[in-house]
Structure 1
Amino acid sequence: MSMDYIVQISKPMLEGAQTTILLFFIAIIASIPLGFVFTLMVRSAIKPLAWLANTYIYVFRGTPLLLQMLFFCFGLPVLPVIGEYLVLDRFVAACLAFVLNYAAYFAEIFRGGLLAIDKGQYEASKVLGLNKWQTTTKVILPQMFRVALPAVSNESITLVKDTALLYAVAVPELLHFAYTAVNRDFTIMPFFIAGVIYLLMTLVLTLFFKFLERRFKYE
């Protein structure tokens, strides 16, 4: 196996990795704040709002991400009456599925982080004269993120690996180019190279979250 061949097959896979990385950033940037919104809705005193958020979380955590992607790509367009207005680009549909799916998981992570905070923190803040906004932003949220950070890290790494599901809806990403090279050249080397690229992406994420954990630890 020559180095020229490795370079040749790596170029399209690196191009596919750009799609993988783009999907990751869209999903992570949109799903984390959306997940936090659903966490607040779950804890809301307004019962219909809490019920709606709990139902959303149950549905998106209880069904496979692949099924959700297939629904947004191929299911929406065949809905009666409104289907013709819901035809989405496959990458856009995949992004929508990823955002909604991971928002449900992040909502549960943040809810667990809030539950881990001792109620005495609220009482202490009240004694110190902090209002509700100050208590939330300066006391509760920093502690919640510190507690939730390891779980957020794990979920983010899982997100990188789940981007391979784009292959199922024919969006050309890293795995697509690797599989194409394997079928064309009858060698498993493209799979090894794809694995290395995935490992490098997860390594960068792991180091980033380790850095964040150290920062939060000493604050």
Structure 2
Amino acid sequence: MNFSFLEKYWAYFNYGVLVTIMISTCVVFFGSIIGLLVALAKRSRFKPLDWLFSFYVWVFRGTPMVVQIMISFVWMNFTSAPTISFGVLNLDFSRLLPGIIILSLNSGAYISEAIRAGIDSVPKGQTEAAYSLGIKPWKTMRYVVLPQALKNILPALGNEFITIIKDSSLLQTIGVMELWNGAQSVATATYLPIEPLLFAALYYLIITTLMSQLLGLLEKKLSQGGHH
């Protein structure tokens, strides 16, 4: 194994990690908003709204993410989007925006189901008690149901963040210079077919392991909080 390339190309991997984490953070943020809106819309008594968002969830959960990425890149066509520099980051928004949008829509489809399950886990007696006190339905959802559901939703959001960190590698198909694309560029430049990819895999493993540990600590803290 020859890892001498790291001395020259270490910055490529660090750059890729920063882009990967930035993408994942944006996707989980926007995906959570989409997921919450979808979960609430599907509980609406207006059936066409329920059917519409059920169709959305069905499509995004039932088709490969790489297919969604390629279609969105062609359809959205952000060719006039700028490239903006933030320190060491040079972000090509013509490729980054379609990637973040489609990953957020995909993530939102999964998060909506987690939120729906979290809402359903709250005892119905809580809602009925709020209604008996004259609290309006939307206020009941906001102040009574969602705060209690959040405890059950947070671990799922953490798992989704870990999943997105790995799935963001699919954005290399449209030229986003994240960690995996950076590793492939190094492999091409150094004529080393395996070592740069192994190092990138190690980087992913370190990141996801750290996230899993943090998620475990959060779940433990929430569990202890529930016993007081």
Q: Is the 8 A contact 2:28 2:160 kept in 1?
A: no
Deviation at 1:207, TM superposition (A): 3.2
The structure 1 residue matched to 2:208, chosen from 202, 210, 218, is 202
Q: 2:154 matched to 1:131?
A: no
- Structure 1 residues 115, 197: closer, same or farther in 2, change over 3 A? same
Give structure 1 regions of 4+ aligned residues with deviation exceeding 3 angstroms. Answer: 1-5, 83-86, 124-127, 132-135
1:191 paired residue number: 197
Q: Within 5 Å, give how 1:2-13 maps onto structure 2.
A: 5-13=5-13
* Inter-partner Cα distance in structure 2 for 1:146 and 1:174: 32
Q: Within 5 Å, give how 1:138-149 maps onto structure 2.
A: 138-149=143-154
Q: Is the 8 A contact 2:24 2:164 kept in 1?
A: yes
CA RMSD of aligned residues (A): 2.6
Q: Is the 8 A contact 2:25 2:161 kept in 1?
A: no
Whichever structure has more helix as a proportion of its residues is 1
Deviation at 1:131, TM superposition (A): 1.7
Name structure 2 gaps, 5 residues minimum: 82-92
Q: Is the 8 A contact 1:10 1:193 kept in 2?
A: no
Moved more, 206-215 or 35-44: 206-215
Deviation at 1:3, TM superposition (A): 7.0
Name structure 1 gaps, 5 residues minimum: 78-82
* Inter-partner Cα distance in structure 1 for 2:28 and 2:212: 15
Query: Identical aligned pairs, as a percentage?
Result: 30
Q: Is the 8 A contact 1:9 1:190 kept in 2?
A: no
Deviation at 1:188, TM superposition (A): 2.2
Deviations 1:104-157 (A, max 9, x none): 111111111112222122234446x37245533343112212222332222221
Moved more, 134-143 or 60-69: 134-143
Q: Within 5 Å, give how 1:25-44 maps onto structure 2.
A: 25-44=25-44
Q: Within 5 Å, give how 1:160-171 maps onto structure 2.
A: 160-171=165-176
* Inter-partner Cα distance in structure 2 for 1:153 and 1:130: 35
Q: How many residues align?
A: 212
Deviation at 1:60, TM superposition (A): 1.1
